[in-house]
Structure 1
Amino acid sequence: MLMLIIFAALIAMICLNVPIAVALAVSGVLGLLISEGPDSLVSIALDMYDGSTKFSLIAIPMFVLAGAIMNAGGVTDRLINFVSALIGFVKGGLAMVNIGVSLFFAEISGSAVADVAALGSILIPQMKKRGYSAPLAAAVTSSSASLAIIIPPSIPMILYATSANTSVEQLFVAGVVPGLLGAFGLMFVAYLFARRYNLPVEEAFNLRRLRRTFVEALPAFTLPVIILGGIFGGFVTATEAAGLAVIAAFVVGLWYRQIDLRHLKRAMLDGGMQTAVVMLLVAASVLMGGFLTRAQMPQELAAAILDFTDNKYVILLILNFFFLVIGFFLHSAAAIILVVPIVIPLISAAGIDPVHFGLVVTLNLAIGQQTPPVASVLITSCAVARANIWAVSKVNVYFVAVLLVVLLMCTYIPAIPMFLVEYFYR
């Protein structure tokens, strides 16, 4: 009965537009107060502080800062020029460029919203000038930005690893192949749209221009090499790689002599606010997590589902559906922090690899970023494109279908995400 009261209070506060972090903290305090009395609240401030200062979480502001420096330092422009020279000759080439640059940008920022804000403001106006409808331009930008939470480094993966007490580095490695599959799938759908609407080719393939733009972008290519090479090679942890990414992004920006300090300041402030929201969620989740653990809810949930079925693939199907629904209403950080600690005992009991499950969760939440009513990435893209969210959603459904296919493949063919993990770590 107590659990029902606490969750009813949590849902009611969320429906009243109370910030999720505040709703979580209030519900957790209420649960502890009713079940254990006022004495249980003595150490909550220290518990919240300890929960939000874990070493792995330092990577979040570092990757956000690296993305801000990269965008302010002219790195994004060089990447766009190179990808345009590489694949711009294909029909609908600018859509391909959009997806391709997101692939590179994802390897530095780890944030889909940052991806849309950085690339959308540059590419969406250009796409509209070349005959792309505003809904199509927004849909391509929004769906490709979700690669930022599939391809390492990924902020949701860092949060999952912290919540599930598993390896951030292995999660990053597991995201590489699914991210590439998603990128190629999105490009295929974009090509079909280009054929249907007779969208233009950017320019003929020119080997000389490709060589020139490659040389110009070469310093920028050192960033993913430093991040991924360091992690894959076992030289640095994910947090240490984030610090190196900041230094490398700053050095590359100085090399290009194009750092826009005003842009950098604004991006850093936005990144700081984004990080503060995530950290507040983490801190608030400690209270709710403490209450749920003492109430034995995760263990009871695991026992109930295992009584229904012990087939791990059926369990994954149930959890996929659950996370897809959760993604409609919660941001990825809130969904991970609220739900993952509850289902981890079930995952362990069913014999599901926590790294494999972490990739499945991340893909679900990437889809959630594209599905209203919350759809933070989709809304950001619509704002940049000045397009109606429902008109964009009608186009975006085809790109979301690609992400769903990748999700099903990764869920039921574990070798797809786990092949590289097995190769490097096991």
Structure 2
Amino acid sequence: MELALIAVGVLILLFLRVPVAFAIMGPCLVYFTVNGQSAGMALKTVFDATNSFPLLAVPLFIFVGVVANKLGIAERLFEFCMSAMSRVPGNLAYVNVGTSVGFAWMSGSALADAAGLGKVQVPAMTRAGYPFRFAAGLTASSALISPVMPPSIPAVIFAATATISTGALFAASIVPAFMMAAGLCVYIAIWVARHPGFESAPFDATRFRKAVVRVLGPLGAPVIILGGIIGGYFTPTEAAGIAGVYMLVLGLFMRTVTFRVLWEAAKETVFLTGGIMLIIGAAGMLGQVMARERVATHLSDWMTDFTSSPLMFLLLINLLLIVLGMLIDATAVILVTVPVLLPLATSFGIDPVHFGVIVVVNLMIGLLTPPVGSVLYVMASVTGRSVDEVFKGIVPFLVPMLIVLAIITVFPQVVMFVPNLLGF
């Protein structure tokens, strides 16, 4: 009963637009007080949840993405993709996806992708005659590639929570991320075939060579991050720090780093990190409540009585996570549900790395859906259009995303191919 009251309290506060961290902390503090626990004990729980070395990678990866955004790397990637695909009918739509894939190797955040690329891609597509809803929906959907493709910030948080290898989770995320991009491209091909008139342009070799030179430097960041982590040269936290230094040095060579750029990047990094860490602390407090109420034991008993099929279990988890992702911030969902659901998944014989990819992809789809969908609101803000209009453009693109989710759920070998190949 106490846990049900906490859940109701959290949901009411969320619907009242209270920030996620405080919506969780408030009912939990009441629980601790009613059960004779001091506020000091509750705050210690918050501190312990954030006191983790792997989580240090989160602000560093955020910094890399923010700096990449400030340095104009999104525009360079856009120009490279545009010059490479100039002869393809509907090229701007494919460029949209290709630019997101390239930026994803440095960003790790859907919000950074949507904010940075949305300012470039949506106006370019609307000027070329694409409907606004198609342009905004595609840009918002392709932004989901960033938090799935390594260096994925949600993957770092999942790995730290589940105490599994971040490198293995990064490796497992590569194929699903490219599948998401491929799914969007298939939808684009169908849409362009039904809407002729988007003509191609002749290939310009000089323009292409210049674009290649301009992206060589930025593409060094993913080589450092992934090559270092997967090759075992350094930890994800060390890789994030080295990548941050690399981006600053690159900015000096590009002559785009100024004191103002650094100050704005630092402020944005602190702002985003502070919000994430508050949620992590609040989720730690809620996790303590759930442990006292033996939620994991009760859920395990119910689930094993309900089904013995691993696939049925994963389908139920998909349904649960999609609903939670629509209502609650993805970071909070990972921190609250993983300690409860992961032991259940392993009892069904599901690999923790496979489970981690399913959780991340599920929750990233929630970023596109109201009432909490962060990417939805960012895209509306960037374009100056209503949330309702942007969401109508997003709806068709949910279909390929859900198909990818179904494939990686039913066929774990698709997810585990790269980690097994690399010996994780």
- TM-score strictly above 0.5: yes
1:280-291 matched pairs, under 5 angstroms: 280-291=278-289
Any conservation in 2 of the 1:136–1:395 contact (CA below 8 Å)?
Answer: yes
| One-letter amino acid matched to 1:38 | Q
1:2-401 matched pairs, under 5 angstroms: 2-35=2-35, 37-38=36-37, 41-198=39-196, 200-201=198-199, 203-259=201-257, 261-401=259-399
1:175, CA displacement in angstroms? 0.6
Aligned residues: 424
Tell me, in whole angstroms, the C-alpha distance in 2 between the residues paired with 1:267 and 1:136.
31
Residues 218-262 of structure 1 deviation map (CA, whole Å, 9 limit, x = unaligned): 111111111111111111111111111101111211121123554
Any conservation in 2 of the 1:324–1:364 contact (CA below 8 Å)?
Answer: yes
1:264, CA displacement in angstroms? 4.7
Moved more, 264-273 or 219-228: 264-273
| One-letter amino acid matched to 1:362 | V
Moved more, 244-253 or 262-271: 262-271
1:318, CA displacement in angstroms? 0.3
Tell me, in whole angstroms, the C-alpha distance in 2 between the residues paired with 1:240 and 1:10.
36
| One-letter amino acid matched to 1:165 | T
Residues 94-114 of structure 1 deviation map (CA, whole Å, 9 limit, x = unaligned): 121111111111111111011
Pairwise CA RMSD of aligned residues?
A: 1.8
Tell me, in whole angstroms, the C-alpha distance in 2 between the residues paired with 1:170 and 1:246.
22
Tell me, in whole angstroms, the C-alpha distance in 1 between the residues paired with 2:143 and 2:274.
22
Tell me, in whole angstroms, the C-alpha distance in 2 between the residues paired with 1:219 and 1:295.
52
1:6, CA displacement in angstroms? 2.2
**CA, structure 1 residues 88+372, in 2 after alignment: closer, same or farther (shift >3 Å)?**
farther
Any conservation in 1 of the 2:326–2:373 contact (CA below 8 Å)?
Answer: yes
1:402, CA displacement in angstroms? 0.9
Give the secondary structure class of the aligned counterpart of 2:198. Answer: coil
**CA, structure 1 residues 101+240, in 2 after alignment: closer, same or farther (shift >3 Å)?**
same
1:202, CA displacement in angstroms? 5.5
Tell me, in whole angstroms, the C-alpha distance in 2 between the residues paired with 1:394 and 1:19.
26
1:184, CA displacement in angstroms? 1.6
Instruction: For structure 1, list consecutive stretches of 5 or more residues without a partner in the other structure.
Output: none
**CA, structure 1 residues 234+368, in 2 after alignment: closer, same or farther (shift >3 Å)?**
same
Give the secondary structure class of the aligned counterpart of 2:51. Answer: coil
| One-letter amino acid matched to 1:181 | M
Moved more, 195-204 or 4-13: 195-204
**CA, structure 1 residues 245+24, in 2 after alignment: closer, same or farther (shift >3 Å)?**
same
Any conservation in 2 of the 1:124–1:384 contact (CA below 8 Å)?
Answer: no
**CA, structure 1 residues 74+328, in 2 after alignment: closer, same or farther (shift >3 Å)?**
closer
Give the secondary structure class of the aligned counterpart of 2:122. Answer: helix
Give the secondary structure class of the aligned counterpart of 1:132. Answer: coil
Tell me, in whole angstroms, the C-alpha distance in 1 between the residues paired with 2:113 and 2:212.
22
1:29, CA displacement in angstroms? 2.5
| One-letter amino acid matched to 2:18 | V
Any conservation in 1 of the 2:80–2:208 contact (CA below 8 Å)?
Answer: yes
Give the secondary structure class of the aligned counterpart of 2:217. Answer: helix
1:319, CA displacement in angstroms? 0.4
Instruction: For structure 2, list consecutive stretches of 5 or more residues without a partner in the other structure.
Output: none
Residues 187-225 of structure 1 deviation map (CA, whole Å, 9 limit, x = unaligned): 221233233333534532233432332122111111111
**CA, structure 1 residues 391+26, in 2 after alignment: closer, same or farther (shift >3 Å)?**
closer
Tell me, in whole angstroms, the C-alpha distance in 1 between the residues paired with 2:326 and 2:420.
33
1:407-422 matched pairs, under 5 angstroms: 407-422=405-420
| One-letter amino acid matched to 1:164 | A
Q: Identify the residue that residue 424 of structure 1 maps to in structure 2.
A: 422
Tell me, in whole angstroms, the C-alpha distance in 1 between the residues paired with 2:176 and 2:109.
17
1:379, CA displacement in angstroms? 1.9
Residues 292-348 of structure 1 deviation map (CA, whole Å, 9 limit, x = unaligned): 112211121011111111211100000000001111111211221222222222112
Q: Runs of 4+ in structure 1 displaced over 6 angstroms?
A: none
**Percent identity (aligned):** 35
| One-letter amino acid matched to 1:20 | V
Give the secondary structure class of the aligned counterpart of 1:89. Answer: coil
Tell me, in whole angstroms, the C-alpha distance in 1 between the residues paired with 2:140 and 2:330.
15
Q: TM-score, normalised by structure 2?
A: 0.95
Q: TM-score, normalised by structure 1?
A: 0.94
Residues 340-363 of structure 1 deviation map (CA, whole Å, 9 limit, x = unaligned): 222222112222111111100111
1:47, CA displacement in angstroms? 2.6
Give the secondary structure class of the aligned counterpart of 1:108. Answer: helix
Moved more, 75-84 or 139-148: 75-84
